[in-house]
Chain A
Amino acid sequence: QSALTQPPSASGSPGQSVTISCIGTSSDVGGYNYVSWYQQHPGKAPKLMIYDVTKRPSGVPDRFSGSKSGNTASLTVSGLQAEDEADYYCYSYAGMNTYVFGSGTTVTVL
Chain B
Amino acid sequence: EVQLVQSGAEVKKPGESLRISCEVSGYSFTTYWISWVRQMPGKGLEWMGRIAPDDSNNNYSPPFQGHVTISVDKSVNTAYLQWSSLKASDTAVYYCARHGGTPAVDIWGQGTMVTVSS
Give the interface of A toward B (CB within 8 A): 1, 3, 32, 34, 36, 38, 40, 45-48, 51-52, 57, 87, 89, 91, 93, 96-104
Contact = CB atoms under 8 A, between A and B. Distances in A.
Contact of B47 (A57, A98, A104): A98
B62 interface: yes
B50 to A, nearest CB: 7
B105 A48 contact: yes
Interface residues of B, number: 21
Interface of B is mostly: strand
A45 B106 CA distance: 11
Nearest to A50: B104
Contacts, number: 63
Interface of B: 35, 37, 44-47, 50, 59, 61-62, 95, 97, 102-106, 108-111
A51 B108 contact: no
Contacts of A32: 103
B108 A46 contact: yes
Nearest to B63: A1
A34 B62 contact: no
Given A34-B104, A45-B108, A46-B95, A99 B45 contact: no
A99 B106 contact: no
Contacts of B47: 91, 98-101
A99 B36 CA distance: 11
A84 to B, nearest CB: 18
Contact of B44 (A3, A51, A98): A3
Given A1-B62, A96-B59, A98-B61, A48 B44 contact: no
